[in-house]
A and B are shown apart, each in its own frame.
Chain A
């Protein structure tokens, strides 16, 4: 084994060096020895990791780097993603893997922060067996990894990466996002809200205090102002991400008495907010819009009539999903294994894996059945159209994805113990997206009140 021999050689060199320097064998030196051996081990691991693998032969296994939050508060969103990846990869391997090659995922915890994530990305990219990175959940991570992906030329597929800044320069060759972004996601809510409540006058916003919350507020406000110029934003609150207590904010919201309260809280924040706001009557005094409301449907009792959605088309009970055998099977298997139906982050991850699988298939078809290189895979992703569990994802020329947006309101159903989404609408992905290279906020401000006339109406998606 290369590993063993290298490390023995290096360790020997180091120990002979120690002897020649006349270091005695006292306890502290034994510790020094340990440090030296550790360094030697690191060296050896590095050498093994860089051993090249022939690109054109089918490897014995295919590595995927999967980046998500597996610890910390953001794991509330990250773990469904990891669970879905686990399940999906098991299902793929049960059928013989991707194009006959079994898949092995290495999970990287984004809670380490940008530095750790970059180090891990570089390490994984150094091993040629890891051909694709599925990265990442957090927009900050995606923005930090994107230049790296281009430089190292590793196809990197954002499974969440909501920020509209990610692919804005249109120059990406290796970064893909087969997923919606903040622009269509939050415009969809503005349109749906105005269709359902055309006489809205006052709106309050309460979002988490980081880029995602601020971006969403900016886009939602801009869309509302463009579609209905007389709408007034009466309060904009940005509590800290991970706050346990929202009583002050709820007081502000109730005294402002807005027609509509919009929020893109998620995870534990959203659960806490709903639990604290319900007894104080916020849900009866105002129309509440919870952009990521679907993630807590199975966990907290949301009242009827709350506008919720899935930031994309990843609703496991949507009409399209219900007629897709794969999706039904996936949802049941997920429920059996993790005790909950797959919330939309889980569906996003599953769809991303399907997207990667499709890229392999397309790349191999194109080069006559030979195992694709990283560049071949990136080529195959470019401009692709892939059928997912819940719809279709199209990849534009700028590598941004076009997925439909499903929005609806909570309703009770006799078939489930928790509220589901009813009165749904499904907006076509491209109808809510600016052209590639266009500044999204400038594009939103050009929208006219007539814009929504051509779009489907609430309740039309059955």
Chain B
């Protein structure tokens, strides 16, 4: 049942850009943000809210730009290296951030990400300041593609990655390591008494979530063709948390549903009025009031009742 719904949803996503070419960019971006929001959702499982995940998103996108500047020109290599960059940044930041809980964790993430943002904006000679850095079109398995074709490849690649990575994350969340996350949330001390090192559980989760955000950032960098410090701004981090909550943290699809909803809503709202922020905001209030478990709650509730 669940497989069928997923298959249909992915199929619709795959067909949409054929009908409306401009949607391809919006959907690519939505999937990219979905990855990052999934990263946030992983930590939310442990009751940790990170208002700083845009840092990993941006770190990876900047990683792509720097690697491209240094001469690396292959989509696969760039994706792998940039995700590793984000994971590395995540490991470093995670080492001290996972010692904190609740508001302190959220605020410290925010602080670290804003330091990163300031560096990107201030190191004018290195990062190009607020004008950012270009991300050129890379070769795909040695073949240089034209712009429209590359963007199509990128879109379907992200779609495939969404499925593969989604499945992998689901396996991770259903593994003992994943279940330990919710245990951290409910009773951390008991977990320690059971002989499970909380710091290892959290560090792994933190690195995984940073890598996920990094994957999203790399895709977004390729799709947009330019990296700007705004990628790392705290509003971008807030945006990711919003997507995660909106979609629901009950399951992996939640993050992607939330991202698709928010991106499509944004696209629709800006065509209507200058006050697009108002429409987006009002819709969010409505969704959060009436769907406290996010969009994913719609599906999971159904599952539960059929038991």
Contacts and interface: CB of A to CB of B under 8 A. Distances in A.
Contact of B131 (A21, A29, A165): A165
Nearest to A107: B274
Given A39-B12, A120-B270, A139 B301 contact: no
Contact of A114 (B4, B230, B268): B230
A20 to B, nearest CB: 10
Contacts of B270: 108-109, 112, 116, 120
A122 B24 CA distance: 9
Contacts of A26: 302
A317 interface: no
Nearest to A163: B131
Interface string B179-222: 00000000000000000000000000000000000000000100
Question: Interface of chain A, helix or strand or loop or mixed?
Answer: helix
B132 A143 contact: yes
Given A123-B271, A144-B226, A50 B130 contact: no
Interface string B101-138: 00000000000000000000110100011111010000
B44 interface: no
Interface stretch (B14-22, B45-53, B156-164, B169-177): B14-22
Categorize the interface residue count of chain B: 35 or more
B6 interface: no
A300 interface: no
A42 B224 contact: no
A35 B253 CA distance: 15
A214 interface: yes
Given A119-B22, A123-B271, A38 B224 contact: no
Contact of B225 (A47, A125, A147): A147
B117 to A, nearest CB: 12
Categorize the interface residue count of chain A: 35 or more
A28 B128 CA distance: 48
A77 to B, nearest CB: 15
Nearest to B290: A31
A148 interface: yes
A372 B21 CA distance: 24
Contact of B20 (A47, A106, A148, A163): A47
Contacts of A112: 266, 270, 276
Contacts of B121: 209-210
A106 B271 CA distance: 8
A17 interface: yes
A71 B274 contact: yes
A126 interface: yes
Contact of B224 (A32, A106, A115): A115
Interface in A23-81: 26, 28-29, 31-32, 35, 38-39, 42-43, 45-47, 49-50, 70-71
Contact of A118 (B224, B291, B301): B224
A42 B19 CA distance: 9
B57 to A, nearest CB: 12
A113 B23 contact: no
Contact of B298 (A32, A118, A140, A209): A32
Contacts of B20: 42-43, 45-47, 49-50, 126
B225 A148 contact: yes
A47 B19 contact: yes
Contact of B226 (A107, A108, A109, A114): A114
A50 B21 contact: yes
Given A115-B224, A116-B266, A143-B132, A42 B23 contact: yes
B8 interface: yes
A151 interface: yes
A163 B131 CA distance: 9
Given A38-B264, A108-B270, A109-B276, A118 B130 contact: no
Contacts of A118: 25, 224-225
Contacts of B5: 21
A74 to B, nearest CB: 12
A256 interface: no
Contacts of B29: 115, 119
A114 B135 CA distance: 13
A114 B130 contact: no
Nearest to A148: B225
Closest 8 CB pairs of A and B: A46-B20, A210-B130, A151-B147, A211-B131, A123-B22, A122-B22, A28-B298, A144-B226
Interface of A: 17, 21, 26, 28-29, 31-32, 35, 38-39, 42-43, 45-47, 49-50, 70-71, 106-109, 112-116, 118-120, 122-123, 125-126, 139-140, 143-144, 147-148, 151, 163, 165, 209-211, 214
19 contacts: A17-B8, A26-B302, A42-B16, A43-B16, A45-B20, A46-B20, A46-B22, A46-B23, A71-B274, A106-B271, A113-B230, A116-B266, A120-B267, A120-B270, A122-B21, A123-B22, A144-B132, A151-B147, A151-B148
Given A28-B301, A46-B23, A211-B129, 13 more contacts: A28-B299, A32-B298, A42-B16, A49-B20, A70-B274, A71-B277, A109-B276, A143-B132, A147-B147, A151-B146, A151-B147, A209-B121, A214-B124
Interface of B: 1, 4-5, 8, 12, 16, 19-23, 25-26, 29, 121-122, 124, 128-132, 134, 146-148, 220, 224-226, 228, 230, 261, 264, 266-268, 270-271, 274-277, 291, 295, 298-299, 301-302
